[in-house]
Copies of this chain bind each other. A is one copy, B any other.
Amino acid sequence: MRECLKLTAECPSCSLALFCVHHQAEMLVEQVRPQTVKKYRHILRHEALFLPNHKFQNLYVISHGVFKAYQIEADGKERIRGFYFPGEILGFEAIYTDSYRVTATALSEALVCEIPYEHFLESVQDKPGLQQRCLYLFSKQLNVGSYLAAATALQRLAAFLLDLSERLHSTEAGTQFIIPMSRQDIGNYLRLSGETISRLLSQMHKSKIIALKYKKIRILQAKRLQEMAAGC
């Protein structure tokens, strides 16, 4: 990881598409006006990519790192609306509202491709293939987090782990990966307390469904997890 970021910083003219080979987003970066593609931004841990009520101007393709998008509620509490992984796009929601509604901060050192929405529109117009690709990505975003509606804590967490595994799959080997966010953040997103997440993870660990050591996790029985997510 560290190496990747170094490479980027040292060699800005090299094909940065390397970082966007995940999912379908690389096409976007490649096809949206080459001269703007160079606009890569390096984001530090805890740094904000954009803030609420800021005018919507750019879409951001994440090439490295993980982001969380959250709002501060009236009671002052943080409410996490979603996590974003390499190859995914931040900012779609703001097209409608014309300003960002959330704060997007990096959970770790990150790298994003900044795509001005106007350039995006022009490119999409020119290239029919790109248009379909974008509709596809858009539609995909609509399907994200469908498991949030699940009834029990166990169902939601099981589905979340499978989701994490899938969305991190391209960067991490096999079924083992590093959970990039805190228990508290997972709980916040799933509408559970951090303690509940901790308890359930311990329980899954004891029943050999996952191997767990702090942030390092390995899914041992994906089928069982799927059953749990389905509510069996």
Contact = CB atoms under 8 A, between A and B. Distances in A.
Interface of A: 73-75, 79, 81, 92-97, 101, 121, 124-125, 128, 131-132, 135-136, 138-143, 146, 148-149, 151, 191, 227, 230-232
A96 B139 contact: yes
Contact of A140 (B96, B125, B136, B148): B96
A92 B139 contact: yes
Contact of A73 (B92, B139, B191, B230): B230
Q: Number of copies of this chain in the oligomer?
A: 2
Contact of A143 (B93, B135, B191): B93
Contact of A94 (B132, B139, B191): B139
A142 B231 contact: no
B73 A231 contact: yes
Closest 5 CB pairs of A and B: A95-B139, A96-B139, A74-B230, A96-B140, A93-B142
A73 to B, nearest CB: 6
Contacts of A75: 231-232
B149 A149 contact: no
A95 B138 contact: yes
B139 A232 contact: no
Q: Which of A93, A95, A149 has the most CB of B within 10 A?
A: A149
A128 B123 CA distance: 11
Given A140-B96, A142-B92, A143-B93, A191 B125 contact: no
